[in-house]
Amino acid sequence: MGFFDKLKQGLAKTRKALIENTEALFRGRAVDESLLEDLEEVLIMADVGPQAAASITGALREKVKQGKSFNSNGLKGALKEEIRAMLKTGASIMCAGEKPYVILTIGVNGVGKTTTIGKLARRFTDQGFSVTLAAGDTFRAAAIEQLEIWAQRAGAQIVKHRSGADPAAVAFDAIASAKAKNIDVVIIDTAGRLHTKSNLMEELKKVKRVISKEIPSAPHEVLLVVDATSGQNAINQAKIFNETIGVTGIALTKLDGTAKGGIVLAINKELNIPVKLIGVGEAVEDLQDFNPAEFVDALFD
């Protein structure tokens, strides 16, 4: 099964929550204020978020005011067009410019952060780049072991300290090692922390400061990994991480098997942070660059 088919399969629950409910709403009804209000509610229930839902229905309302008449198929087409227009394409995560290219990976526990790092490392090594992983999640011994397994699978090097060590020291050593060995990419893991714990967020700031001291332009990417199944809670996490450290891109995991795929729209509208990667399964190739047109086609087809 190709990625598009996996994406389409993965979005089945979202399609049911959003598209099928929308189609049922449109059936046999005139496009009036009452229908648009019901549509906004359907969008919010599919985790599109209040801002994005209001923006989409507002655009449709304007078209109606301008005299455009819709049948149910036409309204579905207009909805697809508005969703496609809302989604932004972020620059792909790619090794370019000065070496090493440093990716700082952040997120709460359980979102699939270490797995995302492993898959990303494999992508880079498959492209012929050398990679060092930094085991900066020193709070969980299991996290270090898990990253070691991914390093072996990906053909990457790993820099680790003992459990409980200073994560900033791990980041420093990984960058120093990468410089000495002329490594292309450094991907730094960090502890899965509650975004509401200020001491842990301060530690994250320290890691970033250490990275920037070694390479002023780094980190070149601050990748926030969020779990699509967490819906609106993912927005709250992203807001606080962005305010604290500045997020350049989002990796949205576990998009398969959730009815909350509309969160992609909420992230774009409310946060203005591009979704750069999406995950629709366990295999390495199931982590792909986010393609808005492909996403919308998979959602509507």
Write down the domain spans for the chain.
3-86, 101-300
* pLDDT on residue 166: 92
**DSSP symbol at 97:** S
Q: Is it true that domain 3-86 has CATH number 1.20.120.140? A: yes
Contact between 261 and 292 under an 8 Å Cβ cutoff? The reply is no
Query: Cβ atoms within 10 A of the Cβ of 72, count?
Result: 16
What average pLDDT is seen over the chain?
A: 88
Q: Tell me: pLDDT of 193 over 70.
A: no
For residues 259-264, give the mean pLDDT. Answer: 80
Cβ neighbors of 220 (< 8 A, separation 6 or more) are: 97, 101, 102, 103
Confidence of residue 1 (pLDDT cuts 50, 70, 90): low
* pLDDT on residue 72: 67
Confidence of residue 218 (pLDDT cuts 50, 70, 90): very high
Handedness of CA 286, 289, 290, 295 (dihedral sign): negative
Distance CA 214, CA 234 (A): 31
On the question of a cis peptide bond just before residue 216, with omega within 30 degrees of 0, the verdict is: no
For residues 81-105, give the mean pLDDT. Answer: 86
Distance CA 119, CA 147 (A): 11
Could you tell me which residues are beta bridge partners of residue 277? Answer: 251, 289
Q: Is it true that domain 101-300 has CATH number 3.40.50.300? A: yes
Q: Tell me: pLDDT of 140 over 60.
A: yes
- Give whichever of 6-15, 33-42, 47-56, 218-227 has the largest mean pLDDT: 218-227
Cβ neighbors of 43 (< 8 A, separation 6 or more) are: 18, 52, 53, 56, 57, 262
